[in-house]
Structure 1
Amino acid sequence: MFTRTDDKITTAQTVVIISCYMLGSGVLTLPRTLTERVKTADGWISLIVGGLIVLLAGICIVKLCQQYPGKTIYQFVQEIVGSWIGSCLSTLMILYFVAISAFQIRVMAEVTKLYLLEGTPMWVIVMSFMWIGLYLITSGINSMARLFEIILPITIVVLLICMFLSSEIFEIDNIRPVLGEGILPVLRGLRSTVFVFIGYEIMFILPAFMQHPKKGVKAMIIGTSIPLVMYMITYIMVVGALSVDGVVRSTWPTLDLMRSFEITGLLFERFEFFLLVIWIMQIFSTFTITFYAASMGLAQLSKRNIQPIMYGLIPIIFIVALLPKNMNEVFDFGDFIGSVSIYLFGLLPVVLLLITKIFKKGALKEDG
């Protein structure tokens, strides 16, 4: 079967999947990308506003999916806009998830090569992670959810400990004055925050596998709130310790923060290694869920078995991941994906929901 309707997940597992998806490479890159655009220390305000916008978009997606219980976006979009347009939209979403998978696996490989496996060919690292991810997703979404339930608490604890220990070099003046240059810099930063909150679109798929799909809005709110709090703490601590100028000059400012202090007398005096290892696991989580979403889309669109499609996507994601020649092109690729997500998953759910409500489609039609 191309759809495993018996592969159910709990509401708590849904929350974990959303949070793990959003907590991808953002913690490593967010302080730099956001500060570059805002050019002040007010990026944390952009995070709050951006988080609320993404949350509203996510709730809209959940409300739309609740009109078509047991179905993913790939299955019900054709019922809303017709077969031809629906197939085109599904194809765009599949390409989007493939692009996200490739971006995440490339960032994971770049960080691994720079800090852990210096001298190792990039393609070796990418391929190794991809085969591990393939092994995970072949077992279905429930297996992924159980792994994420282990990764997320460890990630939160390690990040909070690292941020707490870095407080000794934190300077409150580095994040002052608040709104010193007005609201315009905050608005400029909204685009960057949308990319780090990429993950809400997975709710186009998860409600079909939830044991209690009516709790989808609750899962969306909690699942978005966890990354929002983590991102805010990270941004404030990194900018407060390194300053706006220092953050902009750094490729991986969060890791540089961990390397900028030592705690003498403890068993471990340097903590960037722990953050690095945990965040490789976190980026791996994002890669696997997008890999699975792309595979499911192709399977449901073509009405074929999902297993061969998973293997078939491996070379495609591999090629796309290695296309950027350097880190600047990798970040440009990420910005492009963020721009696409605004239109594909920001505006589209609203339009589809309006069509569903106006023409009384989905569950409403069945009830009538």
Structure 2
Amino acid sequence: MKQSTSNINTSEVIIVVINSILGAGILTLPRTISKAVGTPDVWISVILSGLIVTTISILLVTLCRRFPGKTVFEFIPEITGQWIAYLLGLLIIVYFVVLCSFEVRVMAEITSMYILERTPTWVTIMVSLWIGIYMLTGGLKVIIRVFSIVLPVTLVLLALVFLLSTKMFEINNLRPLLGDGFMPVLKGLKPSCLSYSGYEVLLIITAYMVDVKASNKAAIYSILSCTIIYLVTIVTVVGNLSLPGIQTRMWPTFDMVRSFEIEGFLFERYESLFIVFWLMQIFATYAFKHYFAAIGIRDLFRLKNITSIQFAMLPVLYVIAYLPKNLEETLALGDFLGNMSIFLFGLLPLLLLIISFVRKKGGKQASSEALKAS
């Protein structure tokens, strides 16, 4: 049992999962899902994908609860054997590492496009990584405390922006309902499910919970919270920009914020404030993935000093983040990661759970062993 870090309560797990999901997806989701669906029924796809991801998340925590106090990298060998466990563990670590690099590159692209136009991409990437490592060395509790402050402020600002945008909202942009039937809605499930990438941290953070029995509640609350945020975003952006207007824009959500101004209300234009806070939200996604990737390397290879691992990852993250030649290749990397997550965290946990039942691994026996270790 992880005595020094097994003190994460349910609300903190919810913060971790929400911060791990909400990132660049909210800026690009309206465009990707609109192209896939092609009708104003995109919001239905978001609801359905939220329910699917919620079900998968419950599956993940069910698997983790059979091995209390152990991360996915520690209990996979008990289910599959050592060699297969190394292969699967390496795949998960590679996924986290590449996802870290993707989030950092997206931050650099947005910064160079809207804030620091003449700043080289490599400078923004390097600064982001060094700021991140400074925070990561404080440990998981420090990271959670930082983003438990950032997340509410970001969500309040997002809600304010959505409220102010109602002046331009056209309900007719969301009509007709199911005009082309239900098939277009199903086409939107894949891109909308990919925007939930980040829920897989439950495979690690569950091991650090004080009350593991509350893991189901944490998974449901966090995924449903993200679903509501995505749903409101999609409805607001489509209602303001229309479906054809979204499909031609790279960052529809940000373009919507730029499209209106309110005279005499605190600030006339909100895009700068919005983009700064949302960059912090993308940074949160990167920070948690960096930390969990380091945990994976530590647990899989049975190392001790996680800080050294975090520092050793920096040059790897930098190189991968700098590999895409342009924004299109960066977004293509994000699509690849989303497809990879479907296998690693959609199909694989179900297979592992079935094998654990068949081979009678985990469950009450693992719980008793964890209690003895504590």
TM range (shorter): over 0.9
Taking the aligned partners of 1:183 and 1:297, their CA distance within structure 2 comes to 41
Taking the aligned partners of 2:218 and 2:310, their CA distance within structure 1 comes to 27
Residue 209 of structure 1 is matched in structure 2 by 208
Q: How far did 1:267 drift?
A: 3.1
Residue 250 of structure 1 is matched in structure 2 by 249
Residue 223 of structure 2 is matched in structure 1 by 224
1:336 aligns with 2:336: yes
Match runs of 1:99-178 below 5 Å: 99-178=98-177
Taking the aligned partners of 1:161 and 1:19, their CA distance within structure 2 comes to 19
Number of residue equivalences: 366
Contact 2:170/2:239, CA 8 A, preserved across alignment:
yes
Taking the aligned partners of 1:199 and 1:266, their CA distance within structure 2 comes to 36
Contact 1:100/1:287, CA 8 A, preserved across alignment:
yes
Aligned residue identity for 2:194:
F
Query: Could you tell me the TM-score, scaled by structure 1's length?
Result: 0.97
Q: Deviations over 1:24-43 (max 9, x none)?
A: 11111111111111111211
Aligned residue identity for 1:326:
N
Aligned residue identity for 1:126:
I
Q: How far did 1:365 drift?
A: 3.4
Contact 2:2/2:69, CA 8 A, preserved across alignment:
no
Taking the aligned partners of 2:199 and 2:20, their CA distance within structure 1 comes to 8
Taking the aligned partners of 1:320 and 1:180, their CA distance within structure 2 comes to 43
Residue 57 of structure 1 is matched in structure 2 by 56
Q: Deviations over 1:106-134 (max 9, x none)?
A: 11111111111110000100110111111
Q: How far did 1:171 drift?
A: 0.6
Residue 327 of structure 1 is matched in structure 2 by 327
Q: Deviations over 1:149-207 (max 9, x none)?
A: 11111111110100010011111111111111111111111111111111111000011
Contact 1:55/1:200, CA 8 A, preserved across alignment:
no
Percent identity of equivalent pairs:
43
Q: Deviations over 1:298-322 (max 9, x none)?
A: 1111111211111111111111111
Q: How far did 1:5 drift?
A: 4.0
1:306 aligns with 2:332: no
Taking the aligned partners of 1:257 and 1:59, their CA distance within structure 2 comes to 34
Taking the aligned partners of 2:91 and 2:316, their CA distance within structure 1 comes to 15
Residue 91 of structure 2 is matched in structure 1 by 92
SS state of the match for residue 242, structure 2? helix
Q: Deviations over 1:14-54 (max 9, x none)?
A: 00111111111111111111111111121111111111111
1:360 aligns with 2:364: no
Taking the aligned partners of 1:237 and 1:267, their CA distance within structure 2 comes to 22
Aligned residue identity for 1:359:
R
Residue 25 of structure 2 is matched in structure 1 by 26
Tell which deviates more after alignment, 158-167 or 34-43.
34-43
Contact 1:94/1:297, CA 8 A, preserved across alignment:
yes
Residue 188 of structure 1 is matched in structure 2 by 187
1:235 aligns with 2:230: no
Residue 78 of structure 2 is matched in structure 1 by 79
Taking the aligned partners of 2:310 and 2:121, their CA distance within structure 1 comes to 22
Contact 1:94/1:298, CA 8 A, preserved across alignment:
yes
Unaligned regions of 5+ residues in structure 2, if any? 370-374
SS state of the match for residue 40, structure 1? coil
Residue 291 of structure 1 is matched in structure 2 by 290
Select which of 4, 7, 13 maps to 1:6: 4
Taking the aligned partners of 2:108 and 2:88, their CA distance within structure 1 comes to 30
Aligned residue identity for 1:106:
R
Q: How far did 1:329 drift?
A: 0.8
Q: Deviations over 1:34-92 (max 9, x none)?
A: 11111112111111111111111111110110011110000000110000000100000
Taking the aligned partners of 1:275 and 1:33, their CA distance within structure 2 comes to 21
Unaligned regions of 5+ residues in structure 1, if any? none
Aligned residue identity for 1:306:
I
Contact 1:5/1:70, CA 8 A, preserved across alignment:
no
Q: How far did 1:4 drift?
A: 5.8
Contact 2:74/2:300, CA 8 A, preserved across alignment:
yes
Tell which deviates more after alignment, 67-76 or 175-184.
175-184
Aligned residue identity for 1:362:
G
Taking the aligned partners of 1:351 and 1:28, their CA distance within structure 2 comes to 33
Aligned residue identity for 2:16:
I
Taking the aligned partners of 1:351 and 1:180, their CA distance within structure 2 comes to 38
